[in-house]
Amino acid sequence: MSQSCSRATRRSGRSRSRKVGYVHNGPFIKAKGGEALPLPADLTKEDAIIALFKKTVETFGRLDVLVNNAGIATHRNTEDITLDYWNEALAINITAPFLCAREAVRIMKAQQPRGGRIVNIGSVSAKTPRPDSLPYTVTKFGLQGMTHQLTMDGRKHNIVSSIIHPGATLSSFSTRRGRTKAGYGEKPGDDYIMAAEDVAKVAVLMAALPEEVNLYEATILPNSMRSFIGRG
C-alpha cells in the first residue's frame, strides 16, 4: 500500500511540493525524481516510533501527511484466542496508529504553517465483520473511533483526519491465500480483488483537498463484493 501511495502521489503531482519518507519505497521514489528517507522501524516499540518521526523532521523540516497503514489480520475461533494473540493484534492495529498519530500531532501543531493530514487505513470489517476475526474486527472499529476523536481534537491545530475502509485488496494476507495479483482469480467463483493502487488513489485525494475540507470517511470495494453489500 505504501508503494502504491507513492506512485499515486507522483502521478497526482502533489509530491512536487512534498518530501516524503517511506519505509520500503526509497528506490522507487528516487527513480521518479522524488526525495525519500527509508526508515525501517518496529512499530510495537514506542521509542522506535518517536525516533522515526524525529528523523523525518530533522531531514525534511516538517510533516504534512501521515498514512497509518500498518496492520495484521487475524483468523481464529474466539474460544481459541490467547492473550498473546489478542495483544499482538492490538499492538499493531491500534497502539501503533495511536503512537504515530500522537507524534504527528505534536509535530504538526508546532510547525509553521501548522497543520497536516492523518489518513488511517481501516477495513470494511468495521462495518461487516468476517467470521472468527474478533481481534481484527475490534481494532478496526477502534480505528474508526480514533479517527473521529483525532478529527475533533485536531481542528484547533488545523490537523485533518480521515479513514479509508478498503474491501478485498491485494496484500500479503491475500497472497498467503494463493491470490498473487489483482482482478478475478483463476479458479471458478474466485472474487475480484482490488489493486492497492486503487486504495492509494483515495488516500491521495484525501491528502490533496484544501486544508478546510475533509473527506472524512471512504469505503472502497469491488463492486461484486457480495459479502459487504448483498442479501442472504
- What is the chain's pLDDT, residue by residue, as a tens digit (232 residues)? 455 454 444 444 444 334 444 555 677 777 878 888 888 899 999 999 999 999 999 999 999 999 999 999 999 999 999 999 999 999 999 999 999 999 999 999 999 999 999 999 999 999 999 899 999 999 999 999 999 999 999 999 999 999 999 998 887 777 777 777 888 877 777 788 899 999 999 999 999 999 999 999 999 999 888 777 775 4
- Chain center to CA of 165: 9
Give domain status of residue 74, yes or no: yes
> For residues 171 and 2, what is the distance between their CA atoms, to the nearest angstrom?
11
- Chain center to CA of 62: 20
Contacts with 188 (C-beta within 8 Å, 6 or more apart), sequence order: none
Give domain status of residue 169, yes or no: yes
The strands making up 159-166's β-sheet, listed across from edge to edge, are 65-68, 116-121, 159-166, 217-220
At 76, the amino acid letter reads: R
Give domain status of residue 41, yes or no: no
> What is the set of active-site residues?
136
CATH of the domain at 167: 3.40.50.720
Which domain covers residue 216, as residue numbers? 49-220
Give domain status of residue 115, yes or no: yes
Give domain status of residue 34, yes or no: no
- How many domains does the chain divide into? 1
Q: What local confidence, expressed as pLDDT, does residue 227 receive?
A: 77
Q: Which of 118, 130, 138, 125 minimizes the C-alpha distance to 165?
A: 125
Torsion-angle region of 136 (φ positive above 0: left; ψ -120 to 50: alpha; else: beta): alpha
